[in-house]
């Protein structure tokens, strides 16, 4: 079996708007290994959500995938390019919620207000397997118990507005995991929650990942969360990947000036009295605008840099 | 839910009492009454009326009694189905009212079905394919529809019917069936006349209904819960109906109760143009002639229907939207 569940190569996405074309993704390439947590970090608008939506083919007009591949190998025998599937391909419906599922940023609005929680979680099962409604509800109840919801027998018949934000996010996580997907995408799952609940949800996602041994693609702009959650990090900026490496490599010894800038801008890491760095002050603007191909370094990490800086790096590393 | 129903049903009673009082006062407001307007008419025809006859007439209509007594008699009679006598049509009001109300309801319901049958699919299509050629086409046609008064549409329909098919399409029956007892042939004749008012009155509401549905649905389509459901693997058509549409139609449920008064005031002119035996024209005639029993009964019935309609919408809405049920 291929080591990587997902191999994204040169993915490009454009949004055609009235005022011109936005190139949301340009030559995005990275791998999502099996059974590991991969984090995507980057500032707002860097293309994190668009990347995630591409994997589930949720990009809708005026956006479209204009190039690249998303190789998906759910098991030994099947492998296909998600980016190349026609819109009506039945594999897309299998994929969505079946082998890949997603937890969104806004738990308050991610569930329909007019159906019970049980109905909505069970529906995920009914979409993918031929089981009776009762069986689906029972499995939904088990999953809700697993994500830490008490009194499930009663709760399952309640509506989303009867749940708190943190509880709703647990329901959304249960809904995403109920079909045992190989890849769980979490798009800033805790941004809308308050701090104490954030920590609980993060722990829950991490624990469930260890138990179920699935892959997780975790999107955030919080490097502190990356350190806590991820095995591997992808740094994005303006629709490009600037650096890919293990958490240790990227957070301890960042190579790309932009990554260093991100780290320097974290309040906790800056030494007392030192002014917080803005990213532009660390990185020359020109460096960020001119694209460079991703190059794999000797230690296995990948980085996008101008050739002179690369040469200097190679020298330094020997 | 049961407590909610009981609360709403009993809440209707004070509303209706208040409305009945208001209607009674409003009808009494203009100077003069049915007797003076009758006298005027008789005198203008050169007829002499004795003072005794006038007093008799006043007593017959209870007009010599204090207002409160008149009100109690009127509303009391109304409750047991005795709505008095229409001087204008020289028939008991109740007979007249039920007949006209029957036709009005039939036309209202059929035009509502017509409206929804066109507006809902058009609204859905327009929203789902926003900014497509068909969307522009539909919204443009609907804009024209919105700007066309229905009496003009009625005139156009009559003209077209006359020019193209050589038939006169006024009324709800052909002359030979107008006073005939109900039979299968009369029913068919009725149905063949019903579609003109149905289309003319229905088209008026179609444009606004379609535009509201389109806007609501566009709103809902961009909500996160729709993306969540899509990401769950729900099939596209089921997704559309179960998620965004289910919520986008809720506002229509709450307008059902307001349909009666809106249609009846909108219907009056069209009905006059098309010569329909419905409530609108009769109400206007009754108000002009100060035929108080007739006008009062029409208004009171409309009030009852409106309040019942609102009750129905509220209950339907509570059934459709748990957020209201669990307020
Ligand atoms: N529906 C859309 N229409 C037009 N442009 C879009 C649309 N969605 C995304 N984009 C563009 O794609 C780019 C990347 O957006 P994306 O949502 O992926 O950012 P992000 O990294 O997730 O940011 P955030 O941290 O704010 O969620 C943005 O520059 C945005 O302009
Ligand atoms: Mg985002």
Note the pLDDT tens digit of each residue in B104-126. Answer: 888 888 888 999 999 999 999 99
Whose C-alpha lies nearest to ligand 1, atom 28? A45
Percent of the residues in chain A that have a pLDDT greater than 70, as a whole number: 91
Does A110 contact chain B (CB < 8 Å)?
yes
Full 3-state SS string of B36-85: HHHHHHHHHCCCCCCHHHHHHHHHHCCCCCCHHHHHHHHHHHHHCCCCCE
Cβ partners under 8 Å of residue B180, min gap 6: B186
Query: Is B225 close to A112, i.e. CB distance below 8 A?
Result: yes
Angle between helix B150-165 and B184-221 (nearest 10): 130
Closest ligand 1 atom, CA of A60?
1
Tell me the two tokens of residue B242: 């179960």
**Tens of pLDDT, residues A232-260:** 999 999 999 999 999 999 999 898 888 98
What are the CA-CA distances from residue B264 to residues B14, B194, B221, B298, B300 (Å)?
A: 24, 16, 34, 11, 13
Closest ligand relative to A221 C-alpha: 1
Q: Do A161 and B224 touch (CB under 8 A)?
A: no
A76-86 average pLDDT score: 92
> Which ligand sits closest to the CA of A46?
1
Residue in B closest to A185 by C-alpha: B231
Taking contacts as CB-CB distances below 8 angstroms, the residues of chain A near B321 are 113-114
Question: Would the pLDDT of A203 be above 70?
Answer: yes
How much is the average pLDDT of A108-133? Answer: 95
Give the residue, by CA position, lying nearest to ligand 1 atom 3.
Answer: A15
Give the separation between CA A70 and CA A72, rounded to whole angstroms.
6
When CB atoms are compared, the residue of A104, A114, A128 closest to B227 is: A104
Contact B228 A172 (CB under 8 A): yes
Nearest CA in chain A to B318: A114
Task: Test A97 with B231 for CB contact under 8 angstroms.
Answer: yes
A84 CA → ligand 1 middle, Å: 22
- Whether residue A108 is contained in a domain is answered as no
- pLDDT exceeding 90 applies to what percent of chain A? 67
Q: Do B283 and B297 contact (CB within 8 A), yes or no? A: no
Residue A89: closest C-alpha in chain B: B235
| Straight-line distance from the first to the last Cα atom of chain B, in angstroms, rounded to the nearest whole number | 10
A73 assigned to some structural domain: yes
Residue B170, token pair as written in the block: 């006024």
The whole-angstrom separation of Cα B296 and Cα B83 is: 9
Residue A74 has pLDDT above 80, yes or no: yes
Pick from B181, B176, B210: nearest CA to B192: B176
Closest ligand 1 atom, residue A238 Cα: 29
Judged against a pLDDT cut of 90, whether residue A57 lies above it is answered with yes
Contact pairs from chain A to chain B, CB under 8 Å: 73
Q: What CATH number should be reported for the domain whose range is B101-325?
A: 1.10.3720.10
Phi first, then psi, for residue A40 (nearest 5°) are: -110, 125
Pocket test for ligand 1, best of A18, A24, A64, A102 (most atoms within 8 A of CB): A24
CB A112 within 8 A of CB A120: yes
- The verdict on A106 touching B (C-beta cutoff 8 Å) is yes
> Which domain range does residue A306 map to?
4-99+181-316
Structural domains of chain A, count: 1
Between positions 47 and 86 of A, the ones with CB within 8 A of B are 56, 58
Domain assignment present for residue A137? The answer is: no
> Which one of A101, A113, A162 has the shortest CB-CB distance to B231?
A101
Across the interface, do B232 and A58 touch by the CB < 8 Å criterion? no
ipTM: 0.89
Which residue spans within A78-120 are E strands per DSSP?
80-81, 100-103
- Which one has a higher pLDDT value, B31 or B308? B308
- Contact (Cβ atoms closer than 8 angstroms) between residue A22 and residue A14: yes
Ligand with the closest atom to the CA of A238 = 1
Q: What atom in ligand 1 is closest to the CA of residue A51?
A: 18
The average pLDDT across A281-289 equals 55
- What's the pLDDT at A283? 55
Would an 8 Å CB–CB cutoff place A112 in contact with chain B?
yes
What per-residue confidence (pLDDT) applies to A110?
Answer: 94
How far is residue A40's CA from residue A49's CA, in Å, rounded to a whole number? 9
pTM reported for the whole predicted model: 0.84
Best residue of B128, B219, B226, B228 to probe chain A, by most A CBs closer than 10 Å: B228
Instruction: State how far the alpha carbon of A171 is from the alpha carbons of A163, A219, B56, B62, in Å.
Output: 9, 19, 78, 69
Q: Which of B57, B55, B43, B51 is nearest to B85 (CA)?
A: B57
Rounded distance from Cα A45 to ligand 1 centre (Å): 5
**Residue A270 confidence (pLDDT) above 60:** no
Of these ranges, A83-87, B1-5, B275-279, the one predicted with the greatest mean pLDDT is: A83-87
What is the DSSP-derived secondary structure letter of residue A273? T
Q: Whose CA is nearest to atom 12 of ligand 1?
A: A24
Closest CA to ligand 1's atom 18: A47
Range name among A222-226, A266-270, B93-97, B113-117 with the lowest pLDDT average: A266-270
B132 vs B170, more confident: B132
Give the residue-averaged pLDDT of A217-223.
92
Which atom of ligand 1 approaches the CA of A50 most closely? 18
Predicted pLDDT of residue A272: 52
pLDDT beyond 60 at A281:
no
Protein residue whose Cα sits closest to atom 27 of ligand 1: A44
Q: What is the mean pLDDT of residues B17-38?
A: 81
Are A185 and A52 spatial neighbours (Cβ–Cβ below 8 Å)?
yes
Best to test chain A binding among B233, B242, B316 (most A CBs inside 10 Å): B233
Test mutation, A112, A120, A189, chain B, max B CBs within 10 A: A112
Distance CA B50, CA A264 (A): 107
What is the residue with the minimal CA distance to atom 26 of ligand 1? Answer: A44
Q: Distance between CA B2 and CA A215 in Å, rounded? A: 49
CB contact under 8 A, B235 and A162: no
Contact B291/B86 with Cβ under 8 angstroms?
yes
Q: B262 is written with which tokens?
A: 């809106």
For residues A58 and A52, give the distance between their C-alpha atoms in angstroms, rounded to a whole number: 9
Tell me the domain boundaries of chain B: 2-92, 101-325
What's the confidence (pLDDT) of residue A282? Answer: 54
Does the beta-carbon distance from B246 to A112 stay under 8 Å? yes
Structure tokens at B233: 């693997």
Inter-chain touch B231–A128, beta carbons under 8 Å: no
The predicted pLDDT at position A243 comes to 94
pLDDT attached to residue A6: 95
Whether the Cβ atoms of residue B194 and residue B157 lie closer than 8 Å to each other: no
Q: By the CB < 8 Å criterion, does A314 face chain B? A: no
Helix axis angle, A133-146 to A117-128, nearest 10°: 110
Contact assessment for residue B124 and residue B217, using Cβ atoms and an 8 Å cutoff: yes
Ligand 1 shell residues, CB under 6 Å: A 15, 17, 22, 24, 42, 44-50, 62-63, 221
Contacts of B246 in chain A (CB under 8 A): 112, 114
**Is the bond preceding A62 in cis, omega lying within 30 degrees of 0?**
yes
Tens of pLDDT, residues A161-189: 999 999 999 999 999 999 999 999 999 99
What is the average per-residue pLDDT within B146-172? 80
- Please say whether the beta carbons of A160 and A112 come within 8 A: yes
Least confident stretch, A295-299, B162-166, B222-226: B162-166
Q: Are B127 and B217 in contact (CB under 8 A)?
A: yes
Q: pLDDT band at residue B223, thresholds of 50, 70 and 90?
A: very high
More confident residue, A78 or B264: A78
- Average pLDDT of chain B? 85
In chain B, pLDDT over 70 holds for what percent of residues?
97
Residue A81, pLDDT score: 96
- Is the model's pLDDT at B84 over the cut of 60? yes
CATH, residue A10: 3.40.50.300
Per-residue pLDDT at A69 exceeds 60? yes
Answer yes or no: is pLDDT of B324 > 90: no
Whether B67 shows a pLDDT value over 70: the answer reads: yes
Nearest chain A residue to B230 by CA distance is: A96
Query: What is the rounded distance in angstroms from the CA atom of residue B81 to the CA atom of residue B62?
Result: 18
Question: What is the 8-class DSSP label of residue A96?
Answer: B
Q: Which of B229, B242, B323 sits opposite A161 (nearest CB)?
A: B323
- Subunit contact A109:B326, Cβ cutoff 8 A: no
């Amino acid at each position: 079996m291929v080591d990587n569940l997902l191999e994204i190569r040169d993915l490009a996405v454009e949004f055609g708007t009235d005022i011109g074309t936005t190139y949301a993704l340009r030559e995005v390439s990275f791998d999502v290994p099996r059974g590991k947590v991969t984090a995507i970090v980057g500032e707002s608008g860097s293309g994190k959500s668009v990347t995630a939506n591409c994997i589930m083919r949720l990009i809708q007009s005026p956006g479209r995938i204009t190039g690249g591949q998303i190789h998906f190998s759910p098991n030994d025998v099947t492998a296909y390019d998600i980016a190349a599937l026609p819109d009506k391909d039945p594999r897309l419906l299998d994929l969505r919620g079946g082998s890949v599922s997603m937890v969104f940023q806004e738990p308050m609005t991610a569930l329909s207000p007019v159906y019970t929680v049980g109905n909505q979680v069970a529906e995920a099962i009914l979409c993918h397997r031929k089981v009776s409604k009762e069986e689906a509800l029972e499995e939904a109840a088990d999953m809700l118990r697993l994500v830490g919801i008490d009194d499930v027998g009663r709760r399952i018949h309640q509506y989303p507005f009867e749940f708190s934000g943190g509880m709703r996010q647990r329901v959304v996580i249960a809904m995403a995991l109920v079909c045992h997907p190989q890849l769980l995408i979490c798009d800033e799952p805790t941004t809308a929650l308050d701090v104490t609940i954030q920590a609980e949800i993060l722990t829950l996602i991490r624990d469930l990942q260890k138990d179920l041994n699935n892959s997780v693609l975790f999107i955030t702009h919080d490097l502190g969360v990356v350190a806590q959650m991820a095995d591997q990090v992808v740094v994005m900026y303006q629709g490009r990947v600037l650096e890919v490496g293990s958490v240790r490599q990227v957070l301890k010894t960042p190579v790309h000036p932009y990554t260093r800038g991100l780290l320097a801008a974290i309040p906790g890491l800056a030494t007392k009295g030192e002014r917080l760095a803005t990213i532009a002050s660390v990185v020359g603007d020109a460096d960020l605008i001119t694209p460079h191909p991703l190059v794999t370094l000797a230690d296995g990490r990948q980085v996008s840099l101008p050739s002179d800086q690369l040469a200097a790096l190679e020298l330094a590393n020997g | 839910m049961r407590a909610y129903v009981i609360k709403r049903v009993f809440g209707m009673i004070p509303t209706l009492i208040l409305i009945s009082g208001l209607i009674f006062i409003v009808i009494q407001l203009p100077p003069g009454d049915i007797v003076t307007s009758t006298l005027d008419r008789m005198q203008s025809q050169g007829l002499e009326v004795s003072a005794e006859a006038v007093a008799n007439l006043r007593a017959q209509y209870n007009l010599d009694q204090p207002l409160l007594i008149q009100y109690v008699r009127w509303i009391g009679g109304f409750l047991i189905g005795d709505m008095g006598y229409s001087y204008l049509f020289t028939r008991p009001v109740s007979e007249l009212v039920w007949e006209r109300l029957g036709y009005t309801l039939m036309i209202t319901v059929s035009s509502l079905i017509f409206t929804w049958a066109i507006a809902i699919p058009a609204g859905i299509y327009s929203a789902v394919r926003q900014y497509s050629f068909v969307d522009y086409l539909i919204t443009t046609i609907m804009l024209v529809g919105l700007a066309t008064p229905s009496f003009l549409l009625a005139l156009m329909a009559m003209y077209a019917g006359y020019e193209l098919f050589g038939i006169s399409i006024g009324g709800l029956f052909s002359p030979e069936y107008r006073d005939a007892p109900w039979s299968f042939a009369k029913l068919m004749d009725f149905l063949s006349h019903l579609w003109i008012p149905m289309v003319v009155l229905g088209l008026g509401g179609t444009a606004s209904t379609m535009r509201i549905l389109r806007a609501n649905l566009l709103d809902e389509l961009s909500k996160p819960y729709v993306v969540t459901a899509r990401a769950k693997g729900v099939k596209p058509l089921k997704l559309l109906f179960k998620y965004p549409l289910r919520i986008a139609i809720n506002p229509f449920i709450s307008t059902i109760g307001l349909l009666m008064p809106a249609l009846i005031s909108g219907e009056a002119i069209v009905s006059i143009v098309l010569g329909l035996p419905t409530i609108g024209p009769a109400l206007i005639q009754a108000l002009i002639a100060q035929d108080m029993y007739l006008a009062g009964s029409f208004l009171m019935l409309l009030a009852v229907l409106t309040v019942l309609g609102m009750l129905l919408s509220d209950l339907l809405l509570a059934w459709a939207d748990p957020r209201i049920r669990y307020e």
